[in-house]
Amino acid sequence: MFRVARDSLWESITGWLNGISKSNQELPIINNFDHMMRDLRLADVILFEGRSRVSEVIKIITLSPWTHAAIYIGRLDEIKNPRTAAIISKHYDGDPSEPLVIESLLGYGTIVNPISLYKKENLRICRPDGLSNEDQNKVVCFATEHLGINYDVRQILDLARFLFPYAILPREWRSSLFQHNAGKPTAIVCSSMIARCFQSVSFPILPIVENNHKERIRLRKRNFRLFTPTDFDYSPYFKIIKFPTLTFAENANYQTLPWEDEEKEIN
C-alpha cells in the first residue's frame, strides 16, 4: 500500500514538473523547423529551450536557456546496423520513415521520439565538427544502448549542489556524481547520455586540458555526469547551426525584412 501511494505521489510530482509554466505558454518561436529538418545529420545534438517547470529549474542551475538535449539518429528504415534497428523497434512502433531522436526525459527515462513532436519549440543544432561517418554511426548505435535507462533525478540535484554557491548547498552532502559504476549506468540525464556517446569514440566536448612543463598538451575526458545541455553550445568542437524564421537568402538582405510600421502601432 505504501509503495502504491509513493508511486502515485511521484507520478503527480513528475506530471507537475513536466507541465508548462504560465510564463512560458506563449513562448515565441524563433526558428524555422522545416529548414532545420532539411539540414539535420546523424549524431547532431539538438538543444531545446524548455518551457516546463523542471526546465525553469535547469535554467537557474545552468544559467542558460538550453534545458534539454537530444541526439538525432535518423530514420528507422535507413539504419543499416541490424542490432541497432532491432533495439529501436522495441522502443518505437511508429512510422519507420519518421526522423527520430533519442533523449532522456523526467518521468519517461531514455526513449526514442519523432523530432516532429518539437515542431513548435525553439531549437538549436550543435554539430560535431569533423566527426567521421563511421563514428557518426557508432555514436548512434551507442545511444540506442541507453534506451530504457531511467532518468537520474539524483544527478540533477547533485549538479545543483556543485553549481550553486557553497553556502547554499554544502559540499559535504554525499554525491553520486563521482561514484564508479561498472558497465551501463542504471540512470542518466539527457546531456550525460549524449556526452557518454561522444566519449565512446573519443570525440571531445569540453575536455580537461593539461599542459606539462615540456609543453606537451594532454587531454583527459571529463566525467560524463558533469555535462549540461549548454556545454554542447559552448564547446569549440561543435558547430552551432541556427535556423531563423526569416533568412536573408529568402529576402535578399536584412534591409528588406518585413518590419511592422512602428508609427502605425503607436496610432
Q: Which domain holds residue 86?
A: 19-246
Q: If you search the block for the grid coordinates 523547423, which residue do you land on?
A: 33
- Residue 166 pLDDT level (bands cut at 50, 70, 90): very low
- Predicted confidence (pLDDT) at residue 104 exceeds the cutoff of 80: yes
Pairwise CA distance, residues 148 & 47, whole Å:
21
Question: What percentage of the chain has pLDDT greater than the value 90?
Answer: 40
Structural domain includes residue 1? no
Pairwise CA distance, residues 112 & 89, whole Å:
10
Structural domain includes residue 7? no
pLDDT of residue 258: 73
Q: Which residue has the higher pLDDT, 189 or 135?
A: 135
Structural domain includes residue 259? no
* Tens digits of residue pLDDT in 224-239: 888 889 999 999 999 9
Q: Which residue has the higher pLDDT, 111 or 55?
A: 111
* Tens digits of residue pLDDT in 28-74: 777 889 889 999 999 999 998 876 666 666 676 667 788 889 999 99
The domain total for the chain is 1
Structural domain includes residue 258? no
Q: What is the radius of gyration, based on Cα positions, of the chain? A: 20
**CATH number of the structural domain spanning residue 229:** 3.90.1720.10
Beta strands in the chain (DSSP E): 45-48, 68-75, 99-105, 109-114, 123-128, 150-151, 187-188, 208-211, 217-220, 238-241
Pairwise CA distance, residues 172 & 166, whole Å:
10
Q: In the numeric block, which cell numbers belong to residue 103?
A: 533523449
Structural domain includes residue 261? no
Structural domain includes residue 256? no
